Amino acid sequence: MSSTPFKKKEFAQEAFDQMLTWLNPDREEAGKKYEDIRKRLITIFTCRGCLMPEDLTDETIDRVVMKIPGIAGSYVGDPALYFFGVAKYVFHEYIRKIPIPVPPPVVHFTREVEQQYSCLEECMQELTSKNRELILEYYSDEGDKIVHRKRLAGKRGIELNALRIQACRIRAVLFQCVQECLKRHEKA
C-alpha cells in the first residue's frame, strides 16, 4: 500500500523530455529550471504543513507532464507559474483526503471511579514525600518509558532494577491502602 493518496502515473520518457524542452530549449538550462521548480514546490508543500511534500511535488510534476502536449504551444509566461497553479489543486485534493480526527470519547466518571480516585489521592498523601515523588515520576508519561526510567534511576543514583523494585513496593502499598479505603467507604 502506497503512503501517498495519489496514484502514481506512468508516462513516457518522451513526455518528460517534452516538458524539459518547454521549460527551456537548452537541455542544461531546462534541467536547472526543473530542479529549481521542484525545490520550490517541496518548499511550498512543506510550508503548508504537508506530511509528504515530495510525494505531492511528484504528483504536481506528473500532472504537468501529462498536460504539456496540450499547452506547450499556447502557454504564455513563466512555466513555473503553471506548476504552482497545478500545485494549488494538488494541495486542495490532499487536504480533502486527510481524515478528520475523531475526538476522544467523553469520559463519564461513575461514582465508583470517583471513589477510587478519591481513595488514591488520600493514599498518595499518606506516602512519604520521597516515595510519592518517585511513584509520580516513575509513571509520568514522558515519551520513551525505558529511557525515562533509566534517567530516573541515574538521577537517584540506583540501578534500574532497584528502581523497579522500589516502584513495585510503593505500588503494592498504594493498592492495599486504596482497597482498605474503598472498604471503609462501602461500610459508611
Using 50, 70 and 90 to split pLDDT, how confident is the model at 11?
low
C-alpha cell at 162: 532497584
147-160 per-position pLDDT tens digit: 889 988 999 999 99
What average pLDDT does the chain have? Answer: 87
**8, pLDDT greater than 60:** no
Report pTM: 0.50
Angle between helices 27-47 and 53-71 (to 10 degrees): 130
If you average pLDDT over residues 16-21, what whole number do you get? 90
C-alpha cell at 177: 491502602
- Nearest Cα to Cα of residue 134 among 101, 118, 158: 158
38-65 per-position pLDDT tens digit: 999 999 999 988 888 999 999 999 999 9
Report in angstroms the alpha-carbon separations of 107 from 103, 111, 113, 114.
Answer: 12, 13, 11, 12
* Percentage of the chain exceeding pLDDT 70: 93
Report in angstroms the alpha-carbon separations of 144 from 75, 133, 139, 149, 153.
Answer: 54, 19, 12, 9, 14
* pLDDT on residue 35: 95
The C-alpha atoms of residue 182 and residue 163 are separated, in whole angstroms, by 28
φ/ψ of residue 41, rounded to 5: -65, -45
